[in-house]
Structure formats: structure tokens, C-alpha cells
């Protein structure tokens, strides 16, 4: 029994040593999604309108709600206000906004961490499989889900499936 505890304790220590920091996961997401643009994908305001949300006071010009060219330009206030809009984004809009939502969730897990994990596992599962992600992007998503499961007690029941997808599927170059 004593040996079993020691083994378990050693395994837990090894797992903690191999677990990336929040900064490392954020860096992986930033690198993987660098240069991703929304193009003709749906915007947070358009997706929010489908959810009954109206325009937010997110510090953006009222005539040009979603003018961000890069996903990392999306203000935090907008991400918080439109977190449920993730369910209503089209595939291209989802691919554009998901890195911003993941990073914001890592920085503020109590605000929307479980929402982003839920969307990635449920609605996102379909979107992930069909959206021309690169392998690097897929692995960044897996690392995000792993981190949220280990550090924020998020239930990641679809993690094994998403991890298999990230490691075995064909991806865009």
C-alpha cells in the first residue's frame, strides 16, 4: 500500500512537470493561429443577433462593429459579451474567433472557460472536423482542452476523440 502511494505520488509529480504553463499554452495558440482572418465568416454581432443579443458597448465604433482583421484584435469586453454567440458562428467565423476565446478563457477561466470548453466539445466538434485547420491549430486546441481539464476542473469528456482527430486526420498545409 505504501509503495502504491509512492508510485501514485511520483506519477502525479511527473504529470505536473510535463504540464505546460498557461503562458506556454497561450503561446502555442498564438503561433498556431497567427494570420487567421475572418474574411467572409460571420461576425460576433451577427451571431449575437441570432441569439437575441443586441449591440454591446464594447469600445467599438457603432457603425463598424466587427472591424477586426486579426483575431487577436478582438476586445476582451466583446468576447465576454458575445460568449454565447460561439454557438451561432458559421465555420469561418468560428475558426477566426476561437483562438481569441481560448486565450481569454485561459486568462479569465471563471468568466467563460467552461462555455468555450463546452462549445469546442459539442458544437465545435463538428466545426473542427470540417474546417481546414492545420495540424498545429488542432494540437493547440487539444492542449487548451487538456489545460482546462487539469487546471480548471472543466469536464472534457470529448477530449480523447478530439485528440485522436488532431493526431490522425489530414489537415490543410
Evaluate if residue 148 carries a pLDDT over 90: no
Q: Model's pTM, two decimal places?
A: 0.77
Contact 136, 32 (CB under 8 A): yes
Distance (Å, whole) CA 86 – CA 98: 8
Q: Backbone dihedral region of 108: left (phi > 0), alpha (psi from -120 to 50 degrees) or beta? A: beta
Cell of 78: 466583446
**In this structure, is residue 7 part of a structural domain?**
no
Query: Does a structural domain hold residue 50?
Result: yes
In degrees and rounded to multiples of 5, residue 7 shows phi and psi of: -60, -45
Tens digits of per-residue pLDDT, 24-75?
999 999 999 999 988 888 888 777 766 555 555 554 443 346 778 899 999 9
Rounded to an integer, the average pLDDT of 140-165 is 77
Work out the average pLDDT over 139-150.
87
Q: Could you tell me if residue 6 is inside a domain?
A: no
HSE-up of residue 56 (Cα within 13 Å, Cβ side): 21
Within a domain: 81: yes
Q: Which pLDDT score is estimated for 169?
A: 61
The pLDDT value given to residue 123: 59
Q: What is the mean pLDDT of residues 126-152?
A: 79
For residue 42, what is the DSSP state? P
Instruction: Work out the mean pLDDT of the chain and round it to a whole number.
Output: 76
Residue with cell 460561439: 86
**In terms of pLDDT, which residue wins out, 157 or 118?**
118
pLDDT at residue 119 above 60?
yes
Residue with cell 495558440: 29
The owner of cell 462549445 is 119
Asked, for residue 17, whether it belongs to a domain, the answer is no
- Per the model's pLDDT, the better-predicted residue between 154 and 44 turns out to be 44
The answer to which of 55-59, 82-86, 132-136, 156-160 has the lowest mean pLDDT is 55-59
What is the domain extent for residue 62?
22-168
DSSP state of 70: B
Number of domains in the chain: 1
DSSP, collapsed to helix, strand or coil, labels residue 37 as strand
Amino acid at each position: 500500500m505504501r509503495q502504491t502511494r509512492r508510485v501514485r505520488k511520483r506519477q502525479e509529480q511527473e504529470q505536473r512537470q510535463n504540464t505546460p504553463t498557461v503562458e506556454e499554452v497561450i503561446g502555442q495558440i498564438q503561433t498556431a493561429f497567427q494570420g487567421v482572418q475572418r474574411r467572409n465568416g460571420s461576425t460576433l454581432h451577427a451571431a449575437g443577433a441570432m441569439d437575441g443579443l443586441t449591440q454591446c458597448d464594447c469600445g467599438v465604433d457603432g457603425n463598424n462593429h466587427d472591424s477586426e482583421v486579426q483575431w487577436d484584435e478582438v476586445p476582451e469586453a466583446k468576447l465576454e459579451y458575445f460568449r454565447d454567440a460561439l454557438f451561432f458562428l458559421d465555420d469561418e467565423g468560428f475558426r477566426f474567433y476561437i483562438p481569441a476565446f481560448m486565450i481569454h478563457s485561459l486568462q479569465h477561466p471563471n468568466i467563460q472557460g467552461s462555455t468555450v470548453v463546452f462549445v469546442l466539445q459539442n458544437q465545435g466538434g463538428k466545426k473542427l472536423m470540417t474546417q481546414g485547420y492545420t495540424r498545429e491549430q488542432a494540437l493547440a486546441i487539444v492542449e487548451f482542452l487538456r489545460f482546462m481539464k487539469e487546471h480548471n476542473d472543466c469536464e472534457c469528456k470529448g477530449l480523447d476523440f478530439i485528440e485522436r482527430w488532431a493526431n490522425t486526420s489530414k489537415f490543410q498545409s
